[in-house]
Amino acid sequence: MEQKELIRYIEENFKYNKKIQKIDEKQFSITVEKDKILNILSFLKLIDFKQLALITAVDWIKENKFEVVYILFSYSHVQQILVKTFIDRDKPEIETIKTLWEVASMYERDVHEFFGIDFIGNDDKRPLILHNWKDKPPLRKDFDSLKYSNKIFGKFKKDEEND
Amino acid sequence: MVNNYIIRFLFAAFLSIILGLLYMGIGRKYIARIRRCYAGPFYQSYIDVIKLFSKKSISHNWIMDFGVMMGFAGIIATVIFLPIGPFTVFPDMKGNLIVIMYFMTIGYLGMAMGVAASGNPNATIGIARALALMVGYEIPFALAVILLVFVNKSSLLADIITTQQGSILHWNAFRYPFAFVGSLIALQGMLGEQPFDAMIAPAEIASGPMVELSGKFLGFGFLQHGAQIFLETGIIAAMFLGGGTFLGFFSKQLFLYLITLSIAAVFPRYRFEDAVKFFWIIPTSLVLVQLLIFLI
Amino acid sequence: MLLTSTKDLKDKGFEEILNFFRKKSLWMLHYCTGCGAVELPPTMTSRWDMERFGMGPMATPRQADLLLITGYLSVKSLKRVIYTYEQMQEPKWVIAFGSCPINGGIYYDSYSVINRLALYLPVDLSIEGCMPRPEAIIDGFTKLMKQIDKGEAIGYKKYKENYEWYKKNQREVLERTTPVLEQEE
């Protein structure tokens, strides 16, 4: 299907609250409420968006919200969809989608490690990339990376003797 | 009398190591020139060996020490039987080819024992490939030996050399060209040069058998490889190029080694099972054709 | 008397001769996680031809004399580099490539990239630049050769002498148990 037909089809058939925005010829975004995320993803999977490319998150610190983004791709429509939802920053919880895509388990582990978002139903919270991490998740906006780096790796001084 | 033999043995052993390392150094320069660079001096291999023996080394258990020594000693012991030009360690033994073929495997078996004891899986894979490859190149080589034994009614290298004297056209290389080409390909496999270097494969299994060898162990590995070059090119030179004086023999060896390197410099590598198949089909049939021609 | 003199000979005269052979045959192990690895193939192959100095790439730490850290090191790869360094046999040297192992380079404020390699491993020589050109690399190698010849490149001895200090720094990064930002200055 073309993008226009696709958007019309989604608007007609997916009944819950949503906001569809065109990004460019090949991709558009759908913003839904937090508890409808499984509905929209299973709906999109039915209309041939079979590949889950990525799960990631954005930290909107002023609005006190996390934006969780699911990127889907379809080989038959050659379209990319960004499914977005906002969750509360103080209680970052969202349902897991590992029942839909097995690979989501890995992405959720990654997002949990870097943003501290809990995926209800996904118990795999082992660290994936960071080594022996004890501080707050590093990709949150209130994490001061420079201060951290200076404290643990040592500040470089110009007049330091290099022996 | 006994002292005399010991001196002769030491002479052969040192000659094989020193000349083998020299061939290695010249070979490195030769390959570099093919690739349009210059490489180090021709004595680079000696520097490498001295440096390796000056390094600290780590041994995992006594089997590893023993295996590496056995690999080195196996090759040196084979050199005893090789007629080096007009010189042999035991003049009465005259270099029986069957004995030489038996002894050559000891080097590999010792190496296999040593590196398997080092406990690194890459080393085990590497040596398994080396032994599998041996099954490949031994067939054409053994057939070529059988052909020469048929022709000369003798399995002694000294006799084979004697029948080739007189003129260049009496060399077995010209009398039995197919067998010569087959044996050259087998030589490529014996020396482990490309395209038959699946056992070393630095990017894939981290230099295979040598992966866990450090310092003096790798030094012995180097010496073994040097002596191996001397021995294996020497056997082919005696079988097909008619031995000769000291100088003639050494230049024939170097010539054979440089042929090997010319092929090695421009080829990628075979998977080892493909290499074994290749050995069983192309060089084997070349030698078989020569046998048929001889029999008819 | 005899013992002391042979010991002197072994320590000084003998080492000096061996240093000549060591500098002429440096085998290197390059730890290629950073961008510096791109500069090495032209240095090794015919354009700059590193083999003229007897140098060559080696496949395993056991065989190598020289460890090249080509670019930034994250905390996780630092652990592997320490393993690799301790597997190498003496004498051994470390060369740090580019600005990242010197002071962090463009990763100076990253939470996962270390700033100074010299805190964790004894660096014998640093080649600055982002990235250093092959000419700079060869220049660095010749300087290292001169140092080895004079017996000045003794990073591996320093590592053994100050083992506790290096281990303390390594443990601080790799095995800490408390959050960093809540620590007091």
Q: What is the dihedral of CA A113, A116, A122, A124, to 10 degrees?
A: 30
HEC readout, chain B: CHHHHHHHHHHHHHHHHHHHHHHHHHHHHHHHHHCCCCCCCCCHHHHHHHHHHHCCCCCCCHHHHHHHHHHHHHHHHHHCCCCECCECCCCCCCCEHHHHHHHHHHHHHHHHHHHHHCCCHHHHHHHHHHHHHHHHHHHHHHHHHHHHHHHHCCCEHHHHHHHCCCCHHHCHHHHCHHHHHHHHHHHHHHHCCCCCCCCCCHHHHCCHHHHHCCCHHHHHHHHHHHHHHHHHHHHHHHHHCCCCCHHHHHHHHHHHHHHHHHHHHHCCCCCHHHHHHHHHHHHHHHHHHHHHHHHC
Residues 6+ apart with CB under 8 A from C41: none
- Identify the residue whose tokens are 């906001």: A19
Q: How confident is the model at residue C1 (pLDDT cuts 50, 70, 90)?
A: very low
Mean pLDDT of chain A: 85
Over the stretch B119-162, which tens digit does the pLDDT of each residue have? Answer: 788 888 888 888 888 888 888 988 888 888 888 888 888 888 88
- Chains touching B (at least 3 CB pairs under 8 A) are C
Q: How confident is the model at residue A69 (pLDDT cuts 50, 70, 90)?
A: very high
- Burial of residue B39 (CB within 10 Å: 0-12, 13-18, 19+) is buried
Residue C5 has pLDDT above 70, yes or no: no
- Residues from chain C that touch B211, judged by Cβ atoms under 8 A, are 59-60, 62
Residue A159 has pLDDT above 50, yes or no: no
Measured CA to CA, the distance from residue B168 to residue C138 in angstroms comes to 49
Residue A5 has pLDDT above 80, yes or no: yes
Measured CA to CA, the distance from residue C165 to residue C159 in angstroms comes to 9
Q: Highest-confidence range of B158-167, B256-265, C149-158, by mean pLDDT?
A: B256-265
CB of B211 less than 8 A from some CB of C: yes
User: What pLDDT is recorded for position B241?
Assistant: 85
Segment B45-59 shows an average pLDDT of 87
Among the partner residues C18, C21, C51, nearest to B32 by beta-carbon distance: C51
User: What pLDDT is recorded for position B22?
Assistant: 92
CB of A162 less than 8 A from some CB of C: yes
Among the partner residues C118, C119, C176, nearest to A132 by beta-carbon distance: C176
Measured CA to CA, the distance from residue A23 to residue A29 in angstroms comes to 7
Q: How far is CA A152 from CA A158, B136, C33, in A?
A: 18, 58, 22
Contact between chains at A148 and C76 (C-beta distance less than 8 A): no
The closest alpha carbon to C110, from A134, A140, A150, belongs to A150
Segment A147-156 shows an average pLDDT of 78
Contact between chains at C49 and B50 (C-beta distance less than 8 A): no
Over the stretch C151-185, which tens digit does the pLDDT of each residue have? Answer: 888 888 888 888 888 888 888 888 877 777 776 55
Among the partner residues B32, B55, B212, nearest to C91 by beta-carbon distance: B55
Segment C133-147 shows an average pLDDT of 89
Residue B254 has pLDDT above 80, yes or no: yes
Contact between chains at B207 and C58 (C-beta distance less than 8 A): yes
Q: How confident is the model at residue C4 (pLDDT cuts 50, 70, 90)?
A: low
Contact between chains at C25 and B37 (C-beta distance less than 8 A): no
Distance, in angstroms, between C4 CA and closest chain B CA?
A: 21
CA angle A63, A68, A74 (to 5 degrees): 140
User: What pLDDT is recorded for position C9?
Assistant: 61
* H/E stretch holding C66: strand C66-70
Distance, in angstroms, between C132 CA and closest chain A CA?
A: 19
Tokens of A90: 């103080």
Q: Chain B residue closest to C50 (CA)?
A: B39
Segment A112-139 shows an average pLDDT of 86
- Identify the residue whose tokens are 């090997």: B260
CB of A76 less than 8 A from some CB of C: no
The closest alpha carbon to C79, from C167, C181, C177, C179, belongs to C167
Tokens of A113: 């490690």
Tokens of B293: 């021609």
How many other β-carbons are positioned within 10 Å of the β-carbon of residue B147? 24
Over the stretch A41-64, which tens digit does the pLDDT of each residue have? Answer: 888 888 888 888 899 999 998 988
Contact B170, B163 (CB under 8 A): yes
Secondary structure letter of residue A103 according to DSSP: T
How many other β-carbons are positioned within 10 Å of the β-carbon of residue B236? 24
ipTM score: 0.83
Mean pLDDT of chain C: 83
Percent share of chain B, pLDDT over 90: 6
Residue A158 has pLDDT above 70, yes or no: no
Over the stretch A126-141, which tens digit does the pLDDT of each residue have? Answer: 888 888 888 888 888 8
The closest alpha carbon to B59, from B51, B48, B67, belongs to B67
CB of B98 less than 8 A from some CB of C: no
Q: Which residue has the higher pLDDT, B284 or B88?
A: B284
Tokens of B257: 């080694």
Mean pLDDT of chain B: 85
Contact between chains at C180 and A138 (C-beta distance less than 8 A): no
Q: Which amino acid is at A162?
A: N
